[in-house]
Chain A
């Protein structure tokens, strides 16, 4: 029994690699205590403290020999989410305790830190137990955050829908983990375990290989749920629309980063087998190509007819996940880097878009795209920043979004010589990118071409929103033009 326990621990976890996660949990605990025992303290200051804490965690992610890019992205997204919650205080108070009453809003600012700690642990997982527990830390906190606005019918509905579908995907994931263990005798995610099981274990039976494939399929289904890939995407539009905007932001960026970290982690053990002619490689590539095509089409075509800005970004996040899935057609050791580069472009633009939606919601009381009307006249600078972010989401050249999308096309073209039958995916990607231009520009059109209505005042932009929008827009343009400047 002792060597069994030592094999469990020998996945080489060290306490110090979890220090940032512990620190975030301690910070969240302190904030919760302050919430209970220091009632005079304004609750929204928790958001600022939390944002500072997660920024510090983000810095610690990049130090050391192996920078943890997914952990970095997750910490940055959490910090931005908390800044958004800081500027969203008016709606938070209205929807939780009513009027300007801050009571009960404290947890709303503390819980994202716990989820962020979950993502940090998740990115360092090397076995399914760690992966499962940290994934559940993220999802359980997200359920609470999604249903947090209890005076808002949409928020409760979003919470329940997310909980039912999320718990179902948890069931699939843990059943897959059970079979993974049953077929391999280990929870470790590495190539030797996979190879052993694919060869039918010690007895070489086909039943073990088949059971292992079922386990892997169930695990992938759980990961597809987190990233919102078809057919596990149905929760996204409803939950994104109904959940409080800071929560939606968290789900769209941090939770999606976690999902892709899981997916990369699950694909990595199969890397040595990804050669033409190997059966498992063929199956994986076919599965990924079908899922990617369905996700691209559902996300991008579904977004076309939306009029609610949050729902539009929900479909857009499905579509963007479809583009990222294309990297999995031709996985190589740079997979993690390529995925996190795309996620960085997506995160910068999406967070800025949600800041804009929150601003319009706070001051014009609506989340419809038409509420952006006339911003080009009344707030020209704000309108320009929002334009840059949506242009980057659409993939306009000279923005970071274009570079990121270009890499997905390069990845597919690289994959075609190896897996000849993939060329049908190219028109799907082109149609999706074109659809993206149409629906992202709906917001831009509302800002510049729609007339202001009587009674529309210029928006007063709070400090955090102004800072985040400016920094994101500058980063998107600089990162989008820098490669061209360097290439010249």
Chain B
């Protein structure tokens, strides 16, 4: 059986890559994929913890319930995000975050 720590290291890495991508990348579609990675990382931890906290081979289902909600919310977020990206592409002919300059101090 794979120990819990391996799952946590994996999810931590996934989360860090996602966070770094959100902060560094310019293409908004890539930024979106990175945001999804952050949520997936949380899901991996949730499911791993759900197994680890369980007794006698039965996981604690609370965490798995939350992971289902997270997946659903992530899907809704992508739907809204893509709609906004399409609207942005129509008005600016670009999906680079460097084009977002009409609001600043």
Given contact pairs A164-B28, A168-B38, A156 touches B91 in the complex (Cβ within 8 A): yes
Given contact pairs A133-B73, A167-B35, A143 touches B53 in the complex (Cβ within 8 A): no
Given contact pairs A156-B88, A168-B19, A241-B103, A140 touches B80 in the complex (Cβ within 8 A): yes
Q: Which residues of B contact A187 (CB under 8 A)?
A: 62-63, 66
Residue B13 CB within 8 A of the other chain: no
* Binding site secondary structure of chain A: helix
Residue A322 CB within 8 A of the other chain: no
How many chain B residues sit at the interface, stated as a range, is 35 or more
* Binding site secondary structure of chain B: helix
A22-30, A169-177, A270-278: which lies at the interface:
A169-177
Closest to A133 in B: B69
Contact at A158–B103, with CB atoms within 8 Å? Answer: yes
Cα A178 to Cα B51 with chains together (Å): 12
Residue A397 CB within 8 A of the other chain: no
Closest CB in chain A relative to B10 CB, distance in Å = 13
Residue A185 CB within 8 A of the other chain: yes
Q: Which residues of B contact A381 (CB under 8 A)?
A: none
B25-63 at interface with A (beta carbon < 8 Å): 28, 31-32, 35, 38-39, 41-43, 45-46, 48-50, 52-53, 58, 60-63
Closest CB in chain A relative to B89 CB, distance in Å = 10
Residue A4 CB within 8 A of the other chain: yes
Q: Which residues of A contact B43 (CB under 8 A)?
A: 178
Contact at A156–B66, with CB atoms within 8 Å? Answer: no
Residue A380 CB within 8 A of the other chain: no
Residue A374 CB within 8 A of the other chain: no
Q: Which residues of B contact A167 (CB under 8 A)?
A: 35, 38, 77, 81
Interface string of B72-95 (1 = CB under 8 A from A): 010011001101110110011000
Closest to B58 in A: A1
Contact at A178–B84, with CB atoms within 8 Å? Answer: no
Residue A280 CB within 8 A of the other chain: no
Residue A268 CB within 8 A of the other chain: no
Closest to A183 in B: B49
Closest to A173 in B: B42
Given contact pairs A8-B61, A158-B103, A164 touches B45 in the complex (Cβ within 8 A): no
Q: Write the residues of chain B forming the contact surface with A, with a CB cutoff of 8 angstroms.
A: 8, 11, 15, 18-19, 22, 28, 31-32, 35, 38-39, 41-43, 45-46, 48-50, 52-53, 58, 60-63, 65-66, 69-70, 73, 76-77, 80-81, 83-85, 87-88, 91-92, 97, 100, 102-105
- 9 CB-based A-B contacts, threshold 8 Å: A4-B61, A5-B61, A140-B76, A140-B80, A156-B87, A168-B19, A175-B45, A177-B42, A178-B43
Contacts A8-B65, A164-B28, A170-B39 known; 8 new A-B pairs at CB < 8 A: A1-B58, A4-B60, A133-B69, A160-B81, A170-B77, A171-B41, A242-B102, A242-B103
